[in-house]
Amino acid sequence: MARGKRRSASAKRSKRGGSRSRSSSARQQDAITLLKADHRQVEEWFAQFEKTNSSSRKQDLAQKICTALKAHTEIEEEIFYPAFLEATEEQDIHHEAEVEHDGAKKLIAQIERSGPDDEYFDARVTVLSEMIKHHVKEEEKRDGMFAKARQADMDLVALGEQLATRKAQVMGGEDSRMSRGRSIAEARGRESRMANSGRH
């Protein structure tokens, strides 16, 4: 009888929470699914960047791309890559991924320092897109890092939880820095306008 009550209570919780919450939780907990979701999101933004002619839209998309990629590379390098190397001892795959990250980081820094008024802005974003496409292909191919991680003795659920937690921390800090940057830029703009009006 007690067992039946437990089952019905569990069923009620399941109905309230819905299968959707369980499936989204599973997606967040699986390291590879989480990292692939990051890949798909950035690919979508790159595609939108290619299609738009609006400078402000390009600036917004480039900012989103750079912020997402910085968070993604940070959590991979801190958590996923070391776990992968320890479990598989696949040094070549690990080292190549790290080197590809280094190249992307340099380009991201250049994009963040520039804007649509820079004649090389579009070219930098396009080259970054190509670099990321190659990197994603290497990680997701049949005998790539993700496939080997699934074959190895890695706790991908526990890793996924660590990645999700760390990503939230990194993105939170990034949002704060972006807000501070906007506030400083707005304050400087006001000071400049006041100085100009004082001259007339």
For 143-156, what is the mean pLDDT? 95
Residue corresponding to tokens 């963040």: 112
Claim: this prediction has a pTM higher than 0.75:
no
Give the model's pLDDT for residue 29.
66
Give the model's pLDDT for residue 38.
97
Smallest CA-to-CA distance from 111 within 62, 161, 77 is with: 62
Alpha-carbon span 146 to 128, nearest angstrom = 22
- Least trusted range by pLDDT, from 3-17, 83-97, 112-126, 171-185: 3-17
| Three-class SS state of 119 | coil
pLDDT at 8 over 50: no
* CATH code of the region 31-199: 1.20.120
What's the mean pLDDT when you consider all of the chain?
82
For 31-44, what is the mean pLDDT? 97
Percent of the chain with pLDDT over 70: 72
The band of 175, judged by pLDDT with boundaries at 50, 70 and 90, is: low
- Least trusted range by pLDDT, from 7-16, 28-37, 77-86, 187-196: 7-16
Question: And the tokens for 36?
Answer: 């692939």
Q: What's the burial of 183, exposed, middle or buried (CB within 10 Å: 0-12/13-18/19+)?
A: exposed
Farthest CA pair distance, the chain:
87
Alpha-carbon span 14 to 8, nearest angstrom = 10
Percent of the chain with pLDDT over 90: 70
For 34, 52, 111, 137, the CA distances from 56, given in Å and listed in that order, are 29, 10, 14, 30
| Cβ contact 124:111 at 8 Å | yes
Give the model's pLDDT for residue 18.
40
Give the model's pLDDT for residue 192.
43
- Least trusted range by pLDDT, from 47-56, 62-71, 178-187: 178-187
**How confident is the model over 120-134, as pLDDT tens digits?**
999 999 999 999 999
Give the model's pLDDT for residue 193.
45
